[in-house]
Amino acid sequence: MAASDRPSSIDDSNEREQRYNEFVALLTRHDLSIRRFVRSLLPSRDGVEDVVQETALECWRKFDDFAAQNSGQADEFARWACVIARYKTLSWQRDQGRDRLVFRDSVVDVLAASALPQLDRLEEERRAMEGCLAKLGESQRQLVLSVHSPGQSVSSIAKQSGQKARRLYHQLNVLRASLQQCVEKQLQQELRHG
């Protein structure tokens, strides 16, 4: 059966699956930025997961509109999703209105206005950190990432590896200083080259 002979429901299904995969890839790529943005709008961690989940659902509902207006502009996704997240945060705050730890809508507006411009900077920092982590050797990279994994600590890694915790702390400090210098250097280079 030629592609042109396929029933339209199969073509629609394939197209829908492709759109979904594109959406999931964008959401996964920008999840941390969206999560940080939502966290910056709320007075505590309460509600962050709810708002991020509601934001993801709303983004999926409106993804066809986004894709039609921003063809080929994947970097605009985080900014677009954060605008939706702002409204979802306001909605969540209204639902939680009886709680004293809820910001007024005007406070959320001010926080959102100050957090949106930081998205680009945070994305540049994330890319620089990924580039610098890639320059480390495998064992160094694993050490840096493992201490930031949930449930891990330097002492637990020292026990598992049979090394002294003090030595691992020293290694980590050296690696972190090296990463910081690398990230700062990359960001300065990007700033110079626009």
Among 123, 154, 173, identify where a domain stops.
Answer: 123
- Report if residue 7 sits inside a domain: no
Please tell me which residue, 194 or 54, carries the higher pLDDT value: 54
- Report if residue 143 sits inside a domain: yes
CATH number (domain holding residue 99): 1.10.1740.10
pLDDT in tens, 94-138: 888 766 667 778 888 888 888 887 887 888 888 899 899 999 988
Angle of the 8-41 helix axis to the 76-95 helix axis, nearest 10: 70
- Report if residue 1 sits inside a domain: no
Q: What is the pLDDT of residue 99?
A: 62
Label residue 1 by pLDDT band (50, 70, 90). Answer: very low
Write the DSSP symbol of residue 105.
H
The dihedral built from the CA positions of residue 155, 157, 160 and 162, taken in this order, carries a sign that is negative
Please tell me which residue, 19 or 51, carries the higher pLDDT value: 51
Give me the number of domains the chain comprises.
2
What is the C-alpha to C-alpha distance for residues 97 and 91, in angstroms, rounded to an integer? Answer: 10
Q: What is the pLDDT of residue 179?
A: 92
Mean pLDDT over 58-73 rounds to 82
Together in a domain, 118 and 140? no
Together in a domain, 107 and 67? yes
Angle of the 48-61 helix axis to the 8-41 helix axis, nearest 10: 150
The structure's pTM equals 0.58
Together in a domain, 104 and 168? no
Mean pLDDT over 53-78 rounds to 84
Label residue 7 by pLDDT band (50, 70, 90). Answer: low
The mean predicted confidence, pLDDT, of the chain is 84
pLDDT in tens, 37-62: 999 888 888 889 999 999 999 999 99
- Report if residue 129 sits inside a domain: no
Burial class (CB in 10 A: 0-12, 13-18, 19+), 35: middle
User: For residue 106, what are the domain limits?
Assistant: 16-123
Together in a domain, 74 and 22? yes
Does 2 have pLDDT greater than 90?
Answer: no
Mean pLDDT over 157-181 rounds to 88
Mean pLDDT over 130-149 rounds to 86
What is the C-alpha to C-alpha distance for residues 48 and 26, in angstroms, rounded to an integer? Answer: 19
- Report if residue 130 sits inside a domain: no
